[in-house]
């Protein structure tokens, strides 16, 4: 749905800020508690304190376009942040949002967006406690900041040589739709946080190939079994159309929002067994962390460098 | 300073994201703790938990322009949020930032901005714990989210009829410069939070006249002594140039970032006395909250409606 309207009566800018905030409050529904625990004061007063804090943004024609339902865009804004909390093994608590929008943003689009955001918050027990509205000359985007709590946060950078590498779900092809309706892996992250043998966890957002180096501790490389990558249906379809291999799609496509994690090898069998008997999203062993030898950080099972595939670059350089 | 460059070597987009994040990390200096307590993981792990959460944004050519030093812009981004924490009587703790910027944002501008942000954080004991970078087609802006802590948060909406209204500092004319270098009233806010007789507090951002109605509880009106308004030098100068009265400037100009608060009348004398003997920013009694009679929310000392002056409307409608 196109987010702007030529009919002044249908535009957000026509309402005036106070009325608009009332509408937003209504559209958020029960996801926003009464002031001072929600919107309405200079800052929100939180009823529970978290030890995790993360922020992520969405921009029109970059993270969503006219083909997206506004409800899905609102969902995605929160879900991206939920995925970050999931990767720490945490439980989300409170969110604040900052909107950037031109005066001709349509009320219909904004209502859908806000309802989608509120519904996602309800589904995951998040309270929307405040926000900010900024008028622009045409730019449409939003930032959401989320806090959460984790007793033992799962961190990056503690992977050791010999640790096995796993991912949840299937990879690649997210652009076909999953980027708007993925399920943040909160349950899976919390389960992983219960295992001391899980040495690291992150969510895959820029593509496995781009995210992996940042996941490894210094001096480590990843040996990846390309044949073991869990390939999404969407990646297969795209591969059929664009001629890029399914492995390249799985390895490089952005916005998977799956978890990448590492496990001490002696615990791998137990973890795999317990996982299979749970209702959690399936996991796949995709490789192993090894001592780095030279400058190569990513290699295949035979120790050869992986093809020169790129992940997503936020500022356009690759 | 103009934030963009035509020389590709001097542009942020030329560096690639990883290098750019390394620079940002350096420029933030000691304001950003090591991972996982700062940048570098999916979410930041906080060493102290706050019960306050607020967010505010800055946009190029709206909140700052080419005339502003980038350091001042970085200062302002955090200081706006500090003012919100001040208005709750709180102490700030951690910040996360989301940048929106085109690839041609100049590294020199970005360095100044980031150093200004980091210096402000250092000055007020705030830790910058994470952030997000989003490339745009030309839009330059940033959101900062700040948490903080207050034992007894100062709230809006608890003002009673008869409570006296006060402001800190001087009002009006902020556009001449104060909007970039104001001092967030954190000490003053914390002092006010110690007095049970302070029934409400907020920071004045859209102009006293626009912010006052939102400060009052339902059924109340404000009787304002226009002659008592503390007028800034800048408002006097602007009045001399544009012919609008100094009172209109003080009452309507945005971005004062002073505190508006209410005090039970029996406590007013003690508060004024204690304040005078402190080193806190001076306060001024500007009026009193009265029972609303009809629809008039703002009146002068004689009970006549105040001139139809407008404050700042974020989406351009007034």
Confirm whether A309 is domain-assigned. no
pLDDT band at residue A18 under the 50/70/90 scheme: confident
pLDDT in tens, B76-117: 999 999 999 999 999 999 999 999 999 999 999 999 999 999
Average model confidence (pLDDT) across chain B: 93
Binary contact (A42, B316; C-beta < 8 A): no
Mean pLDDT, residues A223-231: 95
Instruction: State which of A123, A149, A175 marks the end of a domain.
Output: A149
For position B236, which CATH number holds? 3.90.650.10
Instruction: State which of B100, B118, B149 marks the end of a domain.
Output: B149
Confirm whether B20 is domain-assigned. no
A137, A104 Cβ separation under 8 angstroms: no
Q: What is the pLDDT of residue A318?
A: 35
pLDDT in tens, B180-226: 999 999 999 999 999 999 999 999 999 999 899 889 988 999 999 99
Residue A312 has pLDDT above 70, yes or no: no
pLDDT in tens, B225-254: 999 999 999 999 999 999 999 999 999 999
Residue A252 burial (10 A CB sphere; 0-12, 13-18, 19+): buried
For position B103, which CATH number holds? 3.30.1330.10
User: Domain check: are B48 and B94 in the same one?
Assistant: yes
Q: What is the pLDDT of residue A314?
A: 54
Confirm whether B7 is domain-assigned. no
Query: For residue B42, which residues of chain A lie inside 8 Å, CB to CB?
Result: 54, 84-85, 87-88, 156, 202-203
Range of the domain at A103: 33-149
Q: What is the pLDDT of residue B146?
A: 97
Count of domains forming chain B: 2
Q: What is the pLDDT of residue B314?
A: 55
Binary contact (B53, A59; C-beta < 8 A): no
Q: What is the pLDDT of residue A317?
A: 42
User: Domain check: are A92 and A210 in the same one?
Assistant: no
Q: How many angstroms away from the CA of B107 is the closest CA of chain A?
A: 13
Give the number of A-B residue pairs with CB atoms closer than 8 Å.
235
pLDDT in tens, A58-86: 999 999 999 999 999 999 999 999 999 99
Mean pLDDT, residues A218-243: 95
- Nearest Cβ partner for B57 among A41, A50, A132: A132
Q: How many angstroms away from the CA of A207 is the closest CA of chain B?
A: 14
pLDDT band at residue A313 under the 50/70/90 scheme: low
User: Domain check: are A143 and A181 in the same one?
Assistant: no
Confirm whether B120 is domain-assigned. yes
Collapse the DSSP code of B242 into the 3-class scheme (helix H, G, I; strand E, B; otherwise coil) and give the result: helix
Confirm whether B22 is domain-assigned. no
User: Domain check: are B179 and B280 in the same one?
Assistant: yes
Mean pLDDT, residues A151-169: 94
Instruction: State which of A149, A172, A189 marks the end of a domain.
Output: A149
For an interface test with B, the pick among A20, A24, A42 (most B C-beta atoms closer than 10 Å) comes out as A42
User: Domain check: are A197 and A139 in the same one?
Assistant: no
User: Domain check: are A194 and A262 in the same one?
Assistant: yes
User: Domain check: are B169 and B265 in the same one?
Assistant: yes
Query: For residue B55, which residues of chain A lie inside 8 Å, CB to CB?
Result: 96-98, 130-132, 143, 145
Query: For residue B151, which residues of chain A lie inside 8 Å, CB to CB?
Result: none
Confirm whether B308 is domain-assigned. no
Nearest CA in chain B to A135: B315
Q: What is the pLDDT of residue B293?
A: 84
User: Domain check: are A212 and A136 in the same one?
Assistant: no
pLDDT band at residue B318 under the 50/70/90 scheme: very low
Beta strands per DSSP E along A139-246 = 141-149, 164-168, 198-204, 220-224
Confirm whether B317 is domain-assigned. no
Distance CA A118, CA A128 (A): 8
Confirm whether A24 is domain-assigned. no
Query: For residue A313, which residues of chain B lie inside 8 Å, CB to CB?
Result: 16-17
User: Domain check: are B278 and B210 in the same one?
Assistant: yes
Binary contact (B57, A88; C-beta < 8 A): no
User: Domain check: are A145 and A66 in the same one?
Assistant: yes
Mean pLDDT, residues A126-132: 95
Binary contact (B157, A35; C-beta < 8 A): yes
3-state secondary structure B138-202: CCCEEEEEEEEECCCCCCCCCCCCCCEEEEECCECCHHHCHHHHCCCCHHHHHHHHCCCCEEEEE
Binary contact (B52, A40; C-beta < 8 A): no
């Amino acid at each position: 749905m196109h987010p702007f309207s030529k009919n002044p009566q249908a535009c957000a800018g026509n309402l005036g800020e106070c009325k608009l905030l009332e509408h937003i409050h209504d559209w958020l529904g029960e996801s926003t508690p009464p002031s001072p625990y929600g919107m309405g004061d200079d800052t929100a007063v939180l009823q529970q304190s978290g030890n995790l804090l993360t922020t992520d943004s969405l921009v029109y024609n970059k993270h969503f376009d006219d083909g997206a339902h506004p409800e899905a865009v609102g969902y995605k804004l929160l879900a991206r942040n939920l995925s970050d909390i999931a990767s720490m093994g945490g439980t989300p608590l409170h969110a604040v949002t900052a909107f950037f929008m031109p005066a001709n943003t349509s009320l219909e689009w904004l209502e859908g967006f806000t309802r989608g955001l509120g519904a996602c918050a309800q589904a995951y027990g998040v309270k929307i406690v405040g926000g900010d509205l900024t008028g622009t000359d045409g730019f449409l985007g939003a930032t959401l900041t989320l806090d959460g709590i984790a007793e033992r946060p799962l961190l990056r950078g503690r992977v050791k040589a010999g640790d096995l590498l796993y991912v949840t779900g299937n990879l690649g092809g997210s652009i076909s739709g999953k980027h708007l309706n993925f399920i943040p892996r909160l349950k899976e992250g919390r389960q992983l946080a219960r295992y001391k043998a899980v040495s690291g966890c992150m969510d895959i957002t820029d593509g496995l190939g781009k995210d992996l180096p940042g996941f490894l501790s210094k001096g480590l490389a990843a040996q990846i079994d390309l044949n073991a990558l869990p390939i999404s249906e969407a990646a297969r379809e795209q591969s059929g159309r664009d001629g890029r291999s399914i492995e390249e799609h799985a390895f490089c496509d952005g916005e998977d929002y799956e978890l990448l994690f590492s496990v001490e090898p002696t615990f791998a069998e137990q973890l795999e067994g317990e996982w299979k008997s749970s209702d959690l999203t399936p996991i796949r062993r995709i490789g192993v962390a090894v001592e780095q030898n030279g400058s190569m950080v990513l290699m295949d099972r035979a120790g050869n460098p992986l093809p020169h595939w790129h992940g997503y670059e936020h500022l356009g350089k690759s």
